[in-house]
């Protein structure tokens, strides 16, 4: 029984971790090139809704990634960083970021965020309701026809008294 329970638990964990990897597969990863104190890549282009993931480990020097416009901040400089930021709709534009301890050495980068494509939703036109008969118009036209017929009959002298 315990083996089955552990097996099911392992399967659930595998499925959950696979979906997390799939959800983050469109992330753009920015690392650190310690030999030249540069971000790699230093320029990236993404679309609103995508994420940039800053990742480095075991660095001799501590680094961070901070946007000049305050959009994101990975925190205090550290030798091991795994920081992810999603650029939501409305963040389109160019965002410059720096490693605070090494900005003067040229450790800067640029993220260009393109606007997300606009989804055009076509509204269905409502069909016009069928024309309704207007009783007043029918009544008026019926009375006019009867008056015209009565006038014609009276002129021709064919109107007879009916019992």
Domain harbouring 57, CATH code: 2.60.40.420
d(C-alpha 4, C-alpha 58), whole Å: 39
Does residue 158 lie within any of the structural domains? no
Question: How many other C-beta atoms can be found within 10 angstroms of the C-beta atom of residue 51?
Answer: 16
Domain that holds residue 39: 25-114
Does residue 14 lie within any of the structural domains? no
Name residues whose C-beta falls within 8 Å of residue 133's C-beta, 6 or more positions apart in sequence: none
9-64 per-position pLDDT tens digit: 444 444 444 434 444 679 999 999 988 999 999 999 999 999 999 999 999 999 99
**Predicted model pTM:** 0.60
Phi (first) and psi of residue 130, to 5 degrees: -60, 145
Structure tokens at 19: 């979906």
Does residue 86 lie within any of the structural domains? yes
Mean of the per-residue pLDDT values for the chain?
81
Count of domains for the chain: 1
Reported as a pLDDT band with limits 50, 70 and 90, residue 132 is: low
Contact between residue 52 and residue 85 where contact means Cβ atoms under 8 Å apart: yes
- Identify the residue with better confidence: 70 or 132: 70
Radius of gyration for the chain, computed over Cα atoms and rounded to the nearest angstrom: 39
């Amino acid at each position: 029984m315990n083996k089955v329970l552990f097996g099911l638990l392992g399967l659930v964990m595998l499925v959950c971790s696979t979906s997390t990897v799939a959800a983050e597969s469109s992330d753009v990863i920015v690392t650190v090139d310690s030999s030249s104190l540069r971000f790699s890549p230093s320029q990236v282009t993404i679309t609103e809704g995508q994420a940039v993931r800053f990742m480095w480990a075991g660095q001799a020097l501590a680094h961070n990634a901070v946007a000049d416009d305050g959009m994101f901040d990975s925190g205090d400089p550290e030798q091991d960083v795994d920081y992810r930021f999603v650029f939501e709709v409305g963040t389109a534009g160019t965002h410059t970021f720096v490693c605070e301890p090494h900005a003067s050495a040229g450790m800067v980068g640029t993220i260009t965020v393109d606007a997300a494509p606009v989804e055009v939703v076509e509204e269905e036109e409502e069909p016009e309701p069928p024309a309704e008969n207007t009783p007043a118009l029918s009544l008026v036209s019926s009375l006019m026809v009867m008056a015209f017929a009565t006038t014609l009959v009276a002129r021709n002298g064919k109107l007879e008294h009916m019992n």
